[in-house]
Structure 1
Amino acid sequence: MPEMDILEDILNIQSTSGDESSMTNYLLNLVSERMKSWKVIPDIYSGTQLHDCLLLKFGKPKGAVFAHIDTIGFMSRYENQLVPIGGPEVENGTYLVGKDELGPIRCKIFEEEGNIFHDFQRKILPGTRLSFEQNIQISNDFIQAAYLDNRLGVYNALKLCETLEDGWVVFSTYEEHGGGSIPALINFIQKTSPIGFALISDITWVTGGVHHHDGVVISIRDKHIPRRKFLEKILKLAEESSIPHQLEIESAGSSDGREVQFSPYFIDWCFIGAPEDNVHSPREKVSLKDLDSMVEMYRYLMPRL
């Protein structure tokens, strides 16, 4: 069962792409409070020169785990119009929340003739960012909420910090809208303590071949294709671990792995994450069993790759 205090905290923090500072501040405070109990106390890299990214270096890294801290959402435009941040699902009547200089905002969203609008009783100042209203539901088998993508990836990275001896744990930005901060982060890492591989701690989709309760997903490919030799090493270790896992083969979709592959460095990468239903909606749904196997798999793989 996940640590619900941490999970509820991060699920309730708004951090749409380009506005991640609240999430970064929370993570910095959490790391400061908890790192004394971790197996290795990391070097912490953050600050203005890294925008809202946060990097933790444990020991002598060979690889890195990347978890993006931004989410999809909406931005107010003119005449009650909204424009999407990333690719949110638009369902008439869904509640959005946020605030501007005039005060807190809670409104419904609706779509007309291809345009998106809100029904707030006053004008929302242009450029205000809005997110899905959060409604966290936990059962014996599932967690359902907005922004499990990628709050569960962040949670997984935080759990890895407890036991990691050698490696980078990196909280990145901008993944959901137009590509991420990964190129700059990789450049920083390669100049500070270089790596040869990256694991992408993110959430994928339930599909015809990927199911709830069958374990964490190891992605053989999405729109982009990791190097086969590296994948074979991961798959061999996954089999040896006996941790429940399943394989994903898709022709679309992308992640921070794309940015790793397109970087000017020879760094292997693989997307490994739990699958969800209702992608990019307020009701994303993930199996708790799959989340547990995600945490276990990262803890098993990182010391062995």
Structure 2
Amino acid sequence: MELLHTLCRIPAPSGHEAPLTEFVLRYVAEQAPSWRVQPTVLAGGEFQDCIILVFGKPRTAVFAHLDSIGFTVRYGKQLVRIGGPDVETGYRLVGRDEQGEIDCTLTVDEKTGALGYEFSREIERGTELTFRCDFRETDESVQSCYLDNRLGVWAALRLCETLEHGIVAFSCWEEHGGGSVAYLADYIYKKYGVRQALVCDITWVTEGVHAGQGCVISLRDSLIPRRSYVERIRQIARASGIPHQLEVEGSGGSDAKELQHGAQPWDWCFVGAPEDNVHTPDEIVHKADIDSMLRLYQVLMREL
């Protein structure tokens, strides 16, 4: 879990993914020589802070978003949400402005719900703040802020070790409205003819999805994927014997929304481990589900 711990400590709220992008590019440069297939690395320029790794003759693309939720300093001691973070007075927030390092406390007005911070000085407007990372590991689980979606990034990077044919795309802005997958999908479709995708992200523990019972294959959230494609994935998963669960939700979304709303005929399915304490500093995922997620991605990318 050392790699996951490192990923969770790197601040990368929506719009400021560059620090994590730089880490991933360094990691790929260092680790790729030991991978089964050496990927073509596409980054910078027209891809902004996104990364595309192309292996062999790809048939399927994996999308994992780099960004996280967080807060932007407004005026005075006001904060504005980035995405949909849980808010509770007392949460520790960290960041940096031109005056130095910041380790402050989130405040929530009981009457108005207005967000602010307590700190020894006024923080410069526009500064991004993220949850302070307190990474905890036991025999059964890992717990930290930003497992959504650092765990998806972790799984995608571990997938690269054995991937022979496929594309792994690291996207931006997912937590705050999206925007990058549209141009990534367009490029991938036109350049490589790939039009089937897996969304490598983290979902929720609910009354029907339980920690420790395997990775989740989502049948729907606020969007509905094409059933014939999802059934292919279910058939491969069943044949593999890897523990997995089925999810049916009426809300929520992911990078898939840009695939479905785009001009290209993409098929997609969300496949990811479930977490509890969603969008808090204390997100928690069962290690059995992490193992299931990685193994299922390895099988799906061979078989699809």
Q: TM > 0.5 between the two?
A: yes
- Report what 1:137 is aligned to: 136
CA distance in 1 between partners of 2:106 and 2:218 (Å): 34
Secondary structure of 2:176's partner?
Answer: coil
- 1:134-186 Cα deviation digits (max 9, x unpaired): 00000111101000000000000001101111110000000000123100101
Secondary structure of 2:89's partner?
Answer: coil
Tell me the CA shift for residue 66 of structure 1: 0.3
- Report what 1:93 is aligned to: 90
Are residue 239 (structure 1) and residue 238 (structure 2) matched? yes
- 1:43-80 Cα deviation digits (max 9, x unpaired): 00001221100000001111100000000000001120
- Report what 1:270 is aligned to: 269
RMSD (CA atoms): 0.7
Q: Alignment partner for residue 103 of structure 2, among 101, 106, 116?
A: 106
- Report what 2:14 is aligned to: 17
- Report what 1:221 is aligned to: 220
Are residue 285 (structure 1) and residue 276 (structure 2) matched? no
Tell me the CA shift for residue 275 of structure 1: 0.2
Structure 1's unaligned 5+ residue stretches are none
CA distance in 2 between partners of 1:74 and 1:127 (Å): 9
Tell me the CA shift for residue 31 of structure 1: 0.3
CA distance in 2 between partners of 1:286 and 1:5 (Å): 15
CA distance in 2 between partners of 1:213 and 1:41 (Å): 34
Supply the AA of the counterpart residue of 1:11: C
Q: Percent identity?
A: 50
Secondary structure of 2:64's partner?
Answer: strand
After TM superposition, what 4+ stretches of structure 1 lie above 6 angstroms from structure 2?
none
Q: Alignment partner for residue 26 of structure 2, among 16, 24, 29?
A: 29
Secondary structure of 1:176's partner?
Answer: helix
CA distance in 1 between partners of 2:193 and 2:155 (Å): 23
Structure 2's unaligned 5+ residue stretches are none
- 1:4-57 Cα deviation digits (max 9, x unpaired): 221111110000000000000000000001111111100000012211000000
The 8 Å contact of residues 189 and 195 in structure 2, kept in 1 or not, is answered as no
- Report what 1:230 is aligned to: 229
CA distance in 2 between partners of 1:180 and 1:214 (Å): 33
- 1:68-119 Cα deviation digits (max 9, x unpaired): 0000000001120000000000011010000000000010011111210000
- Report what 1:42 is aligned to: 39
1:38-187 alignment runs, 5 A limit: 38-112=35-109, 113-187=112-186
Supply the AA of the counterpart residue of 2:193: P
CA distance in 2 between partners of 1:191 and 1:225 (Å): 24
Supply the AA of the counterpart residue of 2:72: M
CA distance in 1 between partners of 2:186 and 2:229 (Å): 21
CA distance in 1 between partners of 2:301 and 2:294 (Å): 11
Residue-pair matches, total: 302
Tell me the CA shift for residue 191 of structure 1: 2.3
- 1:228-248 Cα deviation digits (max 9, x unpaired): 100111111100000000000
Secondary structure of 2:116's partner?
Answer: strand
CA distance in 1 between partners of 2:165 and 2:218 (Å): 24
Supply the AA of the counterpart residue of 1:231: V
The 8 Å contact of residues 95 and 102 in structure 2, kept in 1 or not, is answered as yes
CA distance in 2 between partners of 1:196 and 1:68 (Å): 18
- Report what 2:250 is aligned to: 251
Secondary structure of 1:24's partner?
Answer: helix
> Given the two structures, how large is their TM-score scaled by the length of structure 2?
0.98
Q: Which moved more, 1:186-195 or 1:294-303?
A: 186-195
> Given the two structures, how large is their TM-score scaled by the length of structure 1?
0.98
Tell me the CA shift for residue 187 of structure 1: 1.1
1:186-225 alignment runs, 5 A limit: 186-225=185-224
- 1:207-247 Cα deviation digits (max 9, x unpaired): 00000010000000000011010011111110000000000
Secondary structure of 2:80's partner?
Answer: strand
Tell me the CA shift for residue 277 of structure 1: 0.3
Supply the AA of the counterpart residue of 1:234: I
Secondary structure of 1:302's partner?
Answer: helix
CA distance in 2 between partners of 1:196 and 1:90 (Å): 38
CA distance in 2 between partners of 1:109 and 1:207 (Å): 27
Supply the AA of the counterpart residue of 1:87: G
CA distance in 1 between partners of 2:73 and 2:60 (Å): 40
